[in-house]
Amino acid sequence: MRLTQSRYFKAFSEPLIQNNPISMQMLGICSALAVTVQLKTAIVMGLSLTFVLAFSNLTISSMRHVIPRNIRMIVELSVIASLVIIADQVLRAFFYDISKQLSVFVGLIITNCIVMGRAETFALGNPPGLSFLDGLGNGAGYGSVLISVALIREVLGAGKFLGIGIIPESLYRAGYENMGFMQLAPAAFIIIGLLVWLQKSLVKN
Amino acid sequence: MENFISIFLNSVFVGNILLAYFLGMCSFVAISKNMDTAIGLGFAVVFVLSITAPINWLIYYYLLAPGALAWAGFPDIDLSFLKFITFIAVIAGIVQAVEMVIDRFSPVLYNALGVFLPLITVNCAILGTSLFMVERSYTFGESLVFGIGSGTGWLLAIVSMSAIRIKLRYANVPEGLEGFGITMIVTGLMAMGFMLFSGITL
């Protein structure tokens, strides 16, 4: 069997584009957009979510035969919440500035619909290895949307790429101005709407 | 008093929990298709927020915050890292309790809100409000006002969105943009409208 045909590969690659959690399944937009003013915070947020998602899928999938059906939500929530605490503490310890900028949004990974949704729909019915890859794939798909939005907002809004100015000085002197609107909340909604449009038309062809 | 009014107005308009902080988007997109359910869910959110915000305040400042356990004789303990798991457990518990109380005392209200209450546990707006309350170090009274304000802002946003979506049914939206795409763009325009209130200072 070729690598691209195996279900392990599919579990990882499908959520990247065809079944992207944000633009196709419309999950997890909450808490996603607020961190996209800068590229740096978007990358860190994408990584934290991937970590939480992959390990919550792994843990829940390993326990799937022993979790009683009635209280599975509570079990899932406590697994997810513990992983989020780990992610938050690591960020605080090693990347204090970024964790200040992410403020409450790391904590909100707990209620991110992607994490709950993947635990419910995938991890409860599939073996741990497959679930782990599914988590990685969904995390990466989520991160890629976040990073594209952040890239557009940071380059157009502040003229910077990862905090370094990339618009040449001569352009500013010629009358170019940063689009301040990109830094505000409404811009994120509009960019994500346009990205979804782009992706839907690309995937269909 | 002025302080309370300013927190309330700010959380309804300029700092709208949905339009400025993007919280509660999942249920916003899914539920705003229908006006009646949008109103039901909106009121359920206001209701739950005005209970969970003050209760989480009490729990945080009397159990979890650094030095909060001084009354029990442990002034050096800092349990604030437990706030995520505690808040979500409190929210899940309160939602369950509220559901049972409403079921017992007001069947009419239960029929209106019942379906939505379990959904609210995983609504980011609820947890987000509690976390913002801690981050902005509100007092007890302020956290109550902030909870009600955030809920009202969310209610306003989802009801206006569902009204716009009724109109959108007759609009000729480009292929690929219908559904989620256009909803996001309309939300963006709505957010711009709400930001106009930022000129108001009290």
For residue range B140-196, list pLDDT tens digits in order. 999 999 999 999 999 999 999 999 988 888 888 888 787 788 888 898 898 888 888
Task: Answer whether residue A19 is part of any domain.
Answer: no
Residue A36 scores a pLDDT above 90: no
Choose the closest CB to A104 out of B123, B135, B195.
B135
Residue A17, pLDDT above cutoff 80 = no
The mean predicted confidence, pLDDT, of chain A is 82
Q: Domain for residue A10, yes or no?
A: no
Q: Among A48-62, A111-125, B40-54, where is mean pLDDT lowest?
A: A111-125
Mutate which of B33, B86, B184 to test chain A, going by most A C-beta atoms within 10 A?
Answer: B184
Q: What are φ and ψ of residue B178, in 5° steps?
A: -60, 160
Per-residue pLDDT at B100 = 83
Give the domain extent around B112. Answer: 2-199
**pLDDT tens across A62-90, in order?**
988 888 877 777 888 889 889 999 998 99
Higher-pLDDT residue of A46, B40: A46
Q: Which residues contact A42 (CB under 8 A, 6 or more apart)?
A: A35, A36, A143, A146, A147, A149, A150
In a domain, A3, yes or no: no
Q: How confident is the model at residue A34 (pLDDT cuts 50, 70, 90)?
A: confident
The answer to which of A36-45, A111-120, A159-168, B108-117 has the lowest mean pLDDT is B108-117
Chain B residues whose beta carbon lies within 8 Å of the beta carbon of residue A190: 184-185, 188-189
- Whether the complex's predicted ipTM surpasses the cut of 0.90: no
Residue A198 pLDDT: 85
Note whether A185 contacts B: Cβ–Cβ < 8 A. yes
Q: How many contacts (CB atoms, under 8 Å) link A and B?
A: 126
Which of B24, B85, B131 is closest to A83 using CA atoms? Answer: B85
Compute the average pLDDT of residues B47-75.
84
Question: Phi and psi dihedrals of A161, rounded to 5?
Answer: -130, 115
User: Number of folded domains in chain A?
Assistant: 1
Chain A: residue nearest B121 by CA?
A111
- What is the tally of structural domains in chain B? 1
- Tell me which residue in B81, B135, B182 faces A85 most closely, judged by beta carbons: B81
Give the best-scoring range by mean pLDDT among A15-19, A113-117, B7-11, B30-34: B7-11
Instruction: Give the start-end residues of each E strand in B35-168.
Output: none
With CB atoms and an 8 Å threshold, state whether A185 touches B24.
no
Q: What pLDDT shows up at residue A5?
A: 65
Tell me what pLDDT residue A154 has.
Answer: 87
Q: Does A57 touch chain B (CB under 8 A)?
A: no
Q: What is the mean pLDDT of residues A30-42?
A: 79
Q: Is some CB atom of chain A closer than 8 A to the CB atom of B188?
A: yes
Please report the pLDDT score of residue B202 as a whole number: 57
Give the residue on B whose Cα is nearest the Cα of A80. Answer: B85
Which residues of chain B make contact with A28, given a CB cutoff of 8 A?
Answer: 26
Tokens of A146: 């976040």
pLDDT band at A31 (very low <50, low <70, confident <90, very high): low
Would residue A107 count as lying in a domain? yes
- Nearest by Cα to B148 from B15, B24, B1, B7: B7
Residue A135 included in any domain: yes
DSSP annotation of B61 reads: I
Residue A26 lies in a domain: no
The CA distance from A131 to A50, in Å, is 13
Q: Is A134:A57 a contact under the CB 8 Å cutoff?
A: yes
Report the range out of A28-37, B69-78, B85-94 with the highest average pLDDT: B85-94
Domain membership of residue A7 (yes or no) is no
Burial of B110 (0-12, 13-18, 19+ CB in 10 A): middle
Could you tell me if A137 lies within 8 Å of chain B, comparing CB atoms? no
B181 touches chain A (CB under 8 A): yes
Region B121-134: mean pLDDT is 84
Quick check: A108 contacting B, CB < 8 Å?
A: yes
Chain B hits for A29, Cβ within 8 Å? 22, 25-26, 29
* Option in A23, A84, A193 nearest B84 (CB): A84
pTM: predicted TM-score of the whole model, two decimal places = 0.83
Percent of chain B with pLDDT over 90: 12
Q: Is residue A126 part of a domain?
A: yes
Among A135, A193, A149, which Cα is nearest to A14's? A135
Q: Is A149 on the interface with B (CB under 8 A)?
A: no
